[in-house]
Amino acid sequence: MTVDTAARTRLRTEVLIVLGLSLGQSAVYSVVQLAEKMTRGPLGQATSTLNQPQSTREYFDLMYQLLGIFFALVPVALVFFLLASGGVNGFRKFGFTFERPGSDSLRGLGLAALIGIPSLGLYAVGRALGITTSIIPSALDAYWWTVPVLILSAVRHGIVEEVIVVAYLLDRLPRFGLRMPAVILVSALLRGSYHLYQGFGPFVGNAVMGVVFAWVYTRTRRVMPLVIAHALLDIVAFVGFSLFGKAIGLG
């Protein structure tokens, strides 16, 4: 469904603001970070570190980590606020509810397996070809709160990415007259672009993941299974690396 010119302009501004405060901003930084790494030397010799410490002092680091998670979720709150301002219950519209815990969990687990296993192979291939950086999922020190914070970080990524890049964009972009295949492509390319700082392999892998997740969403109209799948992928990567020190490719 398309909208008139004035409404379309307002909607375009809304989408740009939401993306500018969240993953669109991340995509811009990711491109710049990729360029910096490539101008420093071979991409295969570069490193991408996720979940970095913010302070050498334990409890200040904890506060910074929790604040980072909290403020990263603000754009998601903005999305639901904007929907509510239009008289829409965004939680129900996007299927971001706990109404179907069994089916949502099963779908999430299946999607995590579908994406996670090939991602490990793609990471290995990318490293062999020199187009993927070495990914360190967590560099946090081993405190009592490290694992809970990594789990919260994983859940944060799942909520932010799936609600904004899938549910929100698949709701907003068709109103500009785009057909669903084009909308899914835009969503997938955006997902890949904010992973470019990890190299071209993760860009491809996450773009493919974006197509799969968006397609599943068009069939179920529930974002919760996607959030669960994404969170599971990142929990395995973040916590697994933190506990065992073994590099694990991210979805």
Q: Where are the domains of the chain?
A: 5-244
pLDDT of the residue at 2? 57
CB 126 within 8 A of CB 200: yes
CA dist list (Å): 227 to 60, 73, 186, 245: 29, 13, 19, 25
E-assigned strand segments in the chain? 47-49, 134-136
pLDDT of the residue at 246? 47
Residue 225 has pLDDT above 80, yes or no: yes
Q: Which of 3-12, 106-115, 135-144 has the lowest mean pLDDT?
A: 3-12
What is the rounded CA–CA span in Å between residue 19 and residue 8? 16
Listed residue (170, 184, 162, 183) closest to 233, CA to CA:
162
Q: Which DSSP category does 46 fall into? A: -
pLDDT of the residue at 6? 85
> Per residue in 56-107, pLDDT tens?
999 999 999 999 999 999 999 999 999 999 899 999 999 999 999 999 999 9
Residue 210 has pLDDT above 60, yes or no: yes
pLDDT of the residue at 244? 76
The pair phi, psi for residue 55, each rounded to 5°, is: -160, 150
pLDDT of the residue at 32? 98
Residue 227 has pLDDT above 70, yes or no: yes
**pLDDT, mean of residues 222-232:** 98
Q: How confident is the model at residue 245 (pLDDT cuts 50, 70, 90)?
A: low
| pTM listed for this prediction | 0.93
pLDDT of the residue at 251? 39
Q: How confident is the model at residue 250 (pLDDT cuts 50, 70, 90)?
A: very low
CB 206 within 8 A of CB 192: yes
Residue 181 has pLDDT above 50, yes or no: yes
Please state, for a pLDDT cut of 70, what percent of the chain lies above it. 96
Residue 247 has pLDDT above 50, yes or no: no
What is the rounded CA–CA span in Å between residue 98 and residue 166? 18
Residue 39 has pLDDT above 90, yes or no: yes
Residue 1 has pLDDT above 80, yes or no: no
Q: Which amino acid is at 136?
A: I
Compute the chain's Rg from CA coordinates.
Answer: 18
Residue 249 has pLDDT above 90, yes or no: no
